[in-house]
């Protein structure tokens, strides 16, 4: 399968957007798009974006505001990790919580997996926050990453926040928008 990157359009899901079934290999993520994404929009809990090639939905992702919080690191010996998070932030501006945007869900349709669409989504989210004007400050992108997708996020320069979740099915990762 090949595709022309210029043909990929990103559109915001609206309450009247027509949706058809979506298959990424994960039932929860498939169902979310069809059955929950509009409810999250109505409840102002998440905004969903669709990646379209012509009329086909090839991927989607959701964004919500978040905070990257020091208390997420519980182990005393890991406090140094928090200093790493803020290492590029001047001392006077260091906080216990930094403003962030969370990629709540991210899924690429099976038909298009392994073709760079996931990487394109990460770049698109970074560009949204680097090039567009915002109503509020936002320094980091966060994600609660599925174990099966950890390497994908690592390859896209996300870092682990803590080793507390080392054995968990889902791990917290972050990306510093100022590292670009």
Ligand X SMILES: CC(C)(COP(=O)(O)OP(=O)(O)OC[C@H]1O[C@@H](n2cnc3c(N)ncnc32)[C@H](O)[C@@H]1OP(=O)(O)O)[C@@H](O)C(=O)NCCC(=O)NCCS
Binding site for ligand X (CB under 6 A): 24-26, 29, 106-108, 113-119, 145-146, 148-149, 151-152, 155
**Which residue has tokens 């990157």?**
5
Query: Of the two residues 3 and 152, which places its CB atom closer to ligand X in the complex?
Result: 152
Query: Of the two residues 134 and 155, which places its CB atom closer to ligand X in the complex?
Result: 155
Given a contact cutoff of 8 angstroms between Cβ atoms, the answer to whether 84 and 176 are in contact is no
Residue nearest to ligand X (CB): 118
**Which residue has tokens 């009247």?**
16
Positive or negative, the Cα torsion across 31, 37, 38, 40? positive
Query: Of the two residues 95 and 119, which places its CB atom closer to ligand X in the complex?
Result: 119
- Distance of alpha carbon 158 from its chain centroid, rounded? 10
Least distance (Å) from ligand X to the CB of residue 121? 7
Least distance (Å) from ligand X to the CB of residue 57? 12
Query: Of the two residues 81 and 103, which places its CB atom closer to ligand X in the complex?
Result: 103
Least distance (Å) from ligand X to the CB of residue 32? 11
Strands 8-12 and 47-53: antiparallel
Neighbours of 163 (CB within 10 A): 13
């Amino acid at each position: 399968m090949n595709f022309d990157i210029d043909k990929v359009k990103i559109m915001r899901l609206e309450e009247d957007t027509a949706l058809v079934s979506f298959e990424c290999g994960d039932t929860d993520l498939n169902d979310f798009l069809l059955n929950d994404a509009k409810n999250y929009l109505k409840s102002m809990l998440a905004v969903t974006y669709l990646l379209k090639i012509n009329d086909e939905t090839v991927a989607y992702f959701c964004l919500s505001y978040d905070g990257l919080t020091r208390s997420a690191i519980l182990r005393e010996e890991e406090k140094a990790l928090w200093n790493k998070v803020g290492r590029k932030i001047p001392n006077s501006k260091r906080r216990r919580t930094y403003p962030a945007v969370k990629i709540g869900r991210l899924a690429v349709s099976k038909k298009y997996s392994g073709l760079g669409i996931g990487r394109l989504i990460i770049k698109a989210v970074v560009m949204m926050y680097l090039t567009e004007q915002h109503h509020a400050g936002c320094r980091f992108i966060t994600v609660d990453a599925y174990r099966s997708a950890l390497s994908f996020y690592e390859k896209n320069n996300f870092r682990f926040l803590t080793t507390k979740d080392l054995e968990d099915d889902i791990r917290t990762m972050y990306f510093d928008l100022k590292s670009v």
